[in-house]
Amino acid sequence: MSLISKYNVAAPRYTSYPTVPYWEEQTFHPEKWKALLKKSFLESNGKDGISIYIHLPFCESMCTYCGCNKHITVNHGVEGPYIETLLKEWQLYVDTFGGRPRIREIHLGGGTPTFFSAAHLAMLLNGIYRTAELLPDASLSFEGHPGNTTPEHLQSLYNLGFRRISLGIQDFDMRVQEIINRLQPFGMVASVVENARKIGFTSINFDLIYGLPLQTLTSMQHTIDKVVRLRPDRISFYSYAHVPWIKGTGQRRYTEADLPKDEEKRQLYELGKLLFDSNGYTEIGMDHFALPEEALHKAFQQGRLHRNFMGYTDSPTSLLVGLGASSIGDSWYAYAQNEKKVDAYQELVNKGEFPVVRGHILNEEDGLLRKHIHELMCHFETTWHKADTQCDAIIDGLQRLQELERDGLVQVLPQKVVVTPEGRPFIRNICMAFDARLWRQVPHSQLFSSAI
């Protein structure tokens, strides 16, 4: 049996530990969340500042591959009320903190942030800035759809301090674009990239997905040839997560017969990795590639790479505020997720209530295991030399690593685990070994996408 077949099991992506399906929601309460928010704010605001993720869930059409929380509409009348609700929610956080937040990082995600007009996005950001201090080296980024990211969007956000844009490309093959309902010709993308660079954006990321329906090695070669012509500073190269039992109608537009099979899917990744490497990109953590001068690459080299619900970042903070429907916040001591449905989210906020509907308070073991999983995901190694980094679950994890060590995927040393170059594609499987909650509470249904 090949390693691909052997380890292609359902696995979390580890943007947090514990992962969302294993949160102890019965012990969570919004008042606990608020108390831990304030604790984290007092500890971290003066040192690193805070991060803010803002979820803007609206899209005009359904991309069938998408696993994000989104609200499909062509009614742009939703923009103003949603922005007003976001600002009210932000004020709830400011009131809880009891001090002026220092912002290290903002990311506008979706949905489609550029569904909103440039004027409405400016209203949102200026409203936040009025009650906070934007640090001089703050990292501000947004996700843009090539089909509706206008020069006005780019100029307005640049004027507000944004220097990073992430474009959802996925694939340049027109057959693939048609089946995933994401039509955006190369010329359209090239125009947005040219405008962004002309205005002054210093970091452009392309999101690409391998394993999409109708993808082939030939089509992937053509897609990446076009990508490197535009030379984005970063590339996110994600494995398509086919979970129609969770995401419903969109992913039922095609069947498993249209998808590349295990070995073929891995070949798509290996081809991409080879082409990125030959064009000067370095693999960073899981699914990410960056040019040597890019901030993410430097953070990886310097051991500063951080991972949270927004993915990888070079701006590590302990406090992440999540604003908007379905957003997840992280106080370092607890996680909390907002109501997913837009109307219900707005109703809670407009009543003056925190819109969190579920969460998890981390215990001591959670904190230790999060440290080790985070270090594996960011640095491909972890250690537990100090007594305060050890727990019984580490011993259990080492037992589970024995098979992966025999397969050459990890090297287990005294009080240290190092992921080998051959093991990097299997990082999710390696992290699973230390996921005590997963092993104690094996679910009755599949909760995660396949690891490979």
Say which amino acid occupies 273. K
φ and ψ at residue 205, rounded to 5 degrees: -110, 140
The answer to whether 103 is annotated as binding is no
* 168: its two tokens: 């959802």
Give the position of tokens 């005294």: 414
Torsion, CA 124, CA 328, CA 300, CA 238, rounded to 10: -100
The C-alpha atoms of residue 385 and residue 56 are separated, in whole angstroms, by 43
Residue 248's contacts (CB-CB under 8 Å, 6 or more residues apart) are none
The answer to whether 67 is annotated as binding is yes
The answer to whether 59 is annotated as binding is yes
Torsion, CA 54, CA 55, CA 58, CA 61, rounded to 10: 120
> Is 222 within 8 Å of 35 (Cβ atoms)?
no
- β partners of residue 134: 103
Class of residue 308 by CB neighbours under 10 A (exposed 0-12, middle 13-18, buried 19+): buried
The answer to whether 317 is annotated as binding is no
The answer to whether 407 is annotated as binding is no
The answer to whether 66 is annotated as binding is yes
The C-alpha atoms of residue 234 and residue 206 are separated, in whole angstroms, by 7
The answer to whether 207 is annotated as binding is yes
The answer to whether 182 is annotated as binding is yes
Residue 416's contacts (CB-CB under 8 Å, 6 or more residues apart) are 381, 382, 383, 384, 385
* 331: its two tokens: 């106080």
The answer to whether 336 is annotated as binding is no
The answer to whether 143 is annotated as binding is yes
The answer to whether 234 is annotated as binding is no
Residue 101: cis peptide before it, omega within 30 degrees of 0? no
The C-alpha atoms of residue 327 and residue 339 are separated, in whole angstroms, by 8
The C-alpha atoms of residue 160 and residue 162 are separated, in whole angstroms, by 6
- β partners of residue 323: 54
φ and ψ at residue 329, rounded to 5 degrees: -105, 155
Indicate the angle between helix axes 151-159 and 118-129, nearest 10 degrees.
10
> Is 393 within 8 Å of 369 (Cβ atoms)?
yes
Rg (CA), the chain: 21
Give the position of tokens 């690459």: 297
> Is 391 within 8 Å of 400 (Cβ atoms)?
no
> Is 323 within 8 Å of 55 (Cβ atoms)?
yes
* 304: its two tokens: 């500063």
- Binding-site residues for [4Fe-4S] cluster sit at 59, 63, 66
Q: Which residues are annotated as a binding site for S-adenosyl-L-methionine?
A: 53, 65-67, 110-112, 143, 170, 182, 207, 241, 328
| Residues that constitute the known binding site | 53, 59, 63, 65-67, 110-112, 143, 170, 182, 207, 241, 328
